[in-house]
Structure 1
Amino acid sequence: MSIGIRPRPRGNPSLAVEGRRPARSRASLRAAGLLLGLALLATAACLSLAIGTKQIPLDQVWSGLFAPSGTENDAIVRELRLPRTLIGIAVGAALGLGGAVMQTLTRNPLADPGLLGVNAGASAAVVTAIGVLGITTFSGYLWFALAGAGLAATAVHALGGGRRATPVRLALAGTAVNAALFGYISGLQLWDLGTLDEMRYWSVGTLAQRDPSLLLTVAPLLAAGALLALSLARPLGAIALGEDHARALGTDIRRTRLLSVVAITLLCGGATAVCGPIGFIGLMIPHAARSFCGPDPRWLLPYCALYAPVLLLVSDVIGRVVVPPSEIEVGIVTAFLGGLLFIHLVRRRKAVRL
């Protein structure tokens, strides 16, 4: 008489199904957050088109976009507010992505794209173009700003150790380069008051009076930076777990760091070249998105690309209506909001943990 041995079941299938449900529900919730971001972005774009010194009803905004009849409102919508809104969307997405990559790369929750010297490098190049070469047009500033941002980021990466760069070294090198460049900027402005007068229109950070052709010029750079940042989501997620874990997962840490610096330079350098330095967007949005979607860059980066332009456009609308008929530049509004958030973050965390 043979005795059959019944194989032991490998777990309860019903329990396995129950274990998958939370993961599926989290993914569904995150996907819903992306859809909400799209809806909020569309709403913010409509507000940007409708609200200003002159309020335009949404039905007239729609007709001005798709069935213009040559009225004054059509001209305002198509020639003034539509380019401003499109620039705000592109620049906001670039700053949000750059901030998320920067914070993940350095594992520093208070990191900002300016930490790599991008803003300081662009500003130093622009002030040189104005004070030394006599260039006074935004189209003339553009390539100087891009070149300055790239050179500053390259210098920070080299001073931080090059291929052996670490998050701490990058942060220290960025602080040193920023201090040196802003000292140079202040000295040149004080030496030439005409440079100071021209520079203040660019350095304040604004979406107003920007030539739409500038966006067309930098659009390929912004698109390349965005695609590069999104392609680095998986290796950045591995690095966020620690270098040992990243190596165990087969991540090329040096290559990822170098490509991340390139992505940040393209995104933030292009955005700064078009609108001037706009601070704190890259700091605020990754924090807000991370509290909802978690630290995984595969979700964090798309969230930042959607919600950062929402914040930028809403801040721009606030600047238009707070002191009518004048307006406050968006860089000032975001600096005020970002300063409040920064104080909150510092008070929440001990200095030894930063």
Structure 2
Amino acid sequence: MGFWTGDPSPAMSDFLRQSGGFAVIDGGLATELESHGADLNDPLWSAKCLISSPHLIQKVHLDYLEAGANIIITASYQATIQGFESKGLSREESESLLKRSVELACEARDIFWERCTECAIGNEAVPKRRPILVAASIGSYGAYLADGSEYSGDYGEAVTLETLKDFHRRRVQIMAESGADLIAFETIPNKLESQAYVELLEANDMKIPAWFSFNSKDGTNVVSGDSILECASVADSCKKVVAIGINCTPPRFIHGLILSIKKVTCKPILIYPNSGETYDADRKQWVPSTGVSDEDFVSYVSKWREVGASLVGGCCRTTPNTIRAIARALCKESAVPTSSQ
């Protein structure tokens, strides 16, 4: 575990204090990989690049760090032992690729820090390195199925709590021991899966912190129809969970979701919405006509901060330009003196 040791409960709050009260999460990974020529038309999606083009993953991490991100998320959202084995890889090879996703992000962080030092030496001043965390991504069971069910949360009656715990157990263990600073449980579509994650974290007495981020398509519930209040309460019950929030959700829903989450937790709130475009699970394509521009996206940031978001970034279809604009907006806001009244 890199950034912190001991009790994970105050870990994120300590990090935010060191970062000026807020943190910038990176943006979309898969769409950036595609912009660099990666073909992700595969059930492994972005995790395919762990096999075919890891250099592209590292480049995208670096692009986001250059844009101002404080937290970079590994290319393991769709990386599962079961998924790799279905491609003919051995169990050992599959587990090695999970670890490699974290190594690539850590290496990108080291390269970025080294670049900052080199630039500073040229100016005869060495600035303090800004804190940067590596978050090991764990996608939902639906992401592994690659059938769009991560956007519906409908796994069928045959999938039980024990099914989900068995599916995720080894991957969670590997990521907890990978050298990442925290685990990012992303795009959680239902209450059942959040409960599975909590039980895995608590059963293994893992020291590594985690965050839970849910997705919503109506601004009130998670995509399965489960209440966001109930799902956030499950996350809040676990001491290992150091932040709770929303990802891969249209920006227009975020304000209300932050207010809802605040009703059930005092933990830091994170949000990294998608561009506002709609994903067509049947065609496996994003429908581009409903998105918002970077300017429109960033116009929401001050409102999200006002109602309680501490960590802000982007998800699918957002870019380093989006993150750069978010970082500038947050820095400008933090520089504005508050009233003493």
Same fold (TM over 0.5): no
Bigger proportion of residues as strand: 2
Q: Which has the larger radius of gyration?
A: 1
Bigger proportion of residues as helix: 1
Q: TM-score, normalised by structure 2?
A: 0.25
Q: TM-score, normalised by structure 1?
A: 0.24
